[in-house]
Amino acid sequence: MSPFVSAPIAAIATAPGRGGVGIVRVSGRDLGAFVRGLFQRDLTPRHAHLLPFRDGDGEVLDEGLALFFPAPHSYTGEDVLELQGHGGPAVLRRVLDLCLRAGADLGMRLAEPGEFTQRAFLNDRIDLAQAEAVADLIEATSDAAARGAMASLSGVFSARVTALADRIVHLRMLVEATLDFPEEEIDFLEKYQARPLLQGLRDELDAILAQTRQGVILREGLHVVLAGRPNVGKSSLLNALAGDEVAIVTPIAGTTRDKVVQEIHIEGVPLHVVDTAGLRETDDPVEKIGIGRTWQEIAKADVILHLVDAGAPDEDMDAGIAEKLPRGVPVVKVVNKIDLEAAGGPGHVPGSAQDALALRSQAGIDGTLRISAKTGAGLDRLRKALLDIAGWNPGGESPWLARERHLRALQDASDHLQLATEHAALDDRVLDLFAEELRLAHDSLGSITGRFTSDDLLGEIFSSFCIGK
Ligand code: GDP
Ligand code: ZN
């Protein structure tokens, strides 16, 4: 490790701004002398000391708690000093500068984003999936996401992955021992029950994959775009889903000229709902820009809610929009303002085919949802439909939070176990190929917990952390 990498680091660990308490955190290989330099005394390990924080001239910058965690029993696995003072930006800045000056001869520098956690990973305090969970716990915006992140942080996910990896290693050892003694190669698959063992591994991997998919949904959420012509009630629906006034609702067509994004939660699953400018032919240059952006949003959507107006149908225009929506993205047609219809709008004949259609679609049979953003009718069904489309189905187990990266690694492992199964379906003459696929599956699983990871990937993961974590 280069001296730069192992130099002691310091940072303000609490969020910028003002708060009751602010924390400056220092981590390094051997901070004993540094601590003595700061306080003219030793600190009892893991005890809170109420002390003045003095600079070199003896000026008291702040007074607060100093806690010293000698290696290896600390967050990073190195010596860690925590100074808990008053949570103001200027005072914290001064305490941080004090540390940097006092640690200058050790090469102390400002910590990079996530560097404390990166050191915890490099010193084997936590594995990579747990380190990612630290950031995800901080980012979590719903109870369910926070609970999921905590499950990952406590190692629930890592333990499942590691246990599976160990079972693969066991099978690999059996095969490789056999490969070393060719006379025993005959009947290996039979003798060691390799096929059923492999099937057991694949079943467990499938179970982990299913849970992890739920964890990714819980972390990433779903990008929902509200589309439709002006005045069908897109902004009203966003407000109804969000439960407060976020978008401007007005009876003048073409008001929502820029996009409005609102994060809402349904059963703890985050949904990023984008309200867009109404889609229509226009000569207004500003409105044109809004409509251009709407199409950009539509292109990025995981699901599109295509709103139409039950009170003022315009089938030609709605059909024109429907035609231009991208293929391959789920589109839910949402008929809004059914309250107007129920009141017996113009041309309404009770008991007509129209009513039959309405009943059918209320049952969700033809994939059209009927709602009223005004009265709230049908919104629960809409929420449920959105969760279904997201694939949200956590079953009994509460999911751990997971990332796309984990999903790709599990899928990759699954592909290799599939290939191993195909080799095993032949006979013992391809045992070496069988062994190789097991090795590759094992490596993929190892990338989740960070046993096999590139520096690039580590850099990418930790640079997205906040500073001081
Ligand atoms: P947008 O242009 O698609 O965003 O439509 P708005 O949400 O701005 O709504 C246009 C008008 O329709 C407003 O006057 C709303 O109050 C009204 N509106 C929206 N949803 C409903 C509904 O479900 N029922 C009734 N009766 N009016 C609605
Ligand atoms: Zn609008």
How many angstroms separate the CA atoms of 101 and 38, rounded? 10
Shortest-distance ligand to the CA of residue 250: 1
225 by DSSP, 3-state: which? strand
380 is in an annotated binding site: no
**β-pairing verdict for 269-275 and 222-227:** parallel
Contacts of residues 34-39 at CB distance under 8 Å and 24 or more positions apart, as own/partner, are 34/8, 34/81, 34/102, 34/103, 34/106, 34/108, 35/68, 35/81, 37/102, 38/66, 38/81, 38/98, 38/99, 38/102, 39/66
Q: Tell me the CATH architecture of domain 221-390.
A: 3-Layer(aba) Sandwich (3.40)
Give the nearest ligand 1 atom to 230 CA. Answer: 2
Q: Where does 219-314 show beta strands of DSSP type E?
A: 222-227, 260-266, 269-275, 303-309
Shortest-distance ligand to the CA of residue 237: 1
Distance 335 CA to ligand 2 centre (A): 16
Residue 14: other Cβ atoms inside 10 A: 18
Shortest-distance ligand to the CA of residue 277: 2
Residue position matching structure tokens 């190669």: 185
Q: Whose CA is nearest to atom 20 of ligand 1?
A: 233
How many angstroms separate the CA atoms of 427 and 437, rounded? 15
Give the nearest ligand 1 atom to 239 CA. Answer: 7
Distance 250 CA to ligand 2 centre (A): 7
How many angstroms separate the CA atoms of 179 and 188, rounded? 10
Distance 278 CA to ligand 2 centre (A): 7
Q: Whose CA is nearest to atom 9 of ligand 1?
A: 233
Q: Where does 70-148 show beta strands of DSSP type E?
A: 79-87, 109-110
> What strands lie across the sheet with 79-87, from one edge to the other?
49-54, 60-69, 79-87, 19-28, 9-12, 109-110
Q: Whose CA is nearest to atom 8 of ligand 1?
A: 249
Q: Whose CA is nearest to atom 13 of ligand 1?
A: 251
**How do the domains of the chain map onto residue ranges?**
3-126, 139-217+403-450, 221-390
What string of pLDDT tens digits covers the 469 residues of the chain?
444 468 999 999 999 899 999 999 999 999 999 999 999 999 999 999 999 999 988 999 999 999 999 999 999 999 999 999 999 999 999 999 999 999 999 999 999 999 999 999 999 999 999 999 999 999 998 889 999 999 999 999 999 999 999 999 999 988 888 887 766 656 778 888 888 999 999 999 999 999 999 999 999 989 999 999 989 999 999 999 988 656 556 666 666 555 678 888 998 899 999 888 888 888 888 888 888 888 888 888 999 999 999 988 888 889 988 998 988 889 999 999 999 985 555 545 555 555 444 444 444 445 689 999 999 999 999 999 999 988 898 877 778 999 999 999 999 999 999 999 999 888 777 888 999 999 999 999 999 999 877 788 888 888 888 888 8
Query: Would you state the torsion angle of the CA atoms of residues 210, 211, 216, 221, taken in this order, to the nearest 10 degrees?
Result: 90
Q: Under CATH, to which class is 139-217+403-450 assigned?
A: mainly alpha
How many angstroms separate the CA atoms of 20 and 48, rounded? 17
Which residues have C-beta atoms less than 6 Å from ligand 1?
Answer: 228, 230-236, 249-251, 255-256, 278, 336-337, 339-340, 372-374
Give the nearest ligand 1 atom to 229 CA. Answer: 3
- Residue 399's nearest CA partner among 271, 210, 270, 205 is 210
- Joined together, the tokens standing for residue 367 give 């994939």
282 is in an annotated binding site: no
- CATH no., domain 3-126: 3.30.1360.120
Residue position matching structure tokens 């490596």: 443
Phi, psi of 94 (to 5 degrees): -70, -40
How many angstroms separate the CA atoms of 81 and 318, rounded? 63
Residue position matching structure tokens 């009994």: 396
Give the nearest ligand 1 atom to 254 CA. Answer: 2
Q: Which residue of 235, 236, 339, 369 sits with most ligand 1 atoms within 8 Å of its CB, as the best mutation to test the pocket?
A: 236
Shortest-distance ligand to the CA of residue 229: 1
Please say whether the beta carbons of 243 and 292 come within 8 A: no
**β-pairing verdict for 49-54 and 109-110:** unpaired
Enter the ipTM: 0.98
365 is in an annotated binding site: no
Q: What Cα–Cα distance (Å) separates residue 326 from each residue in 295, 299, 358, 401, 427?
A: 10, 7, 26, 30, 47
CA atoms within 13 A on the CB side of 160: 22
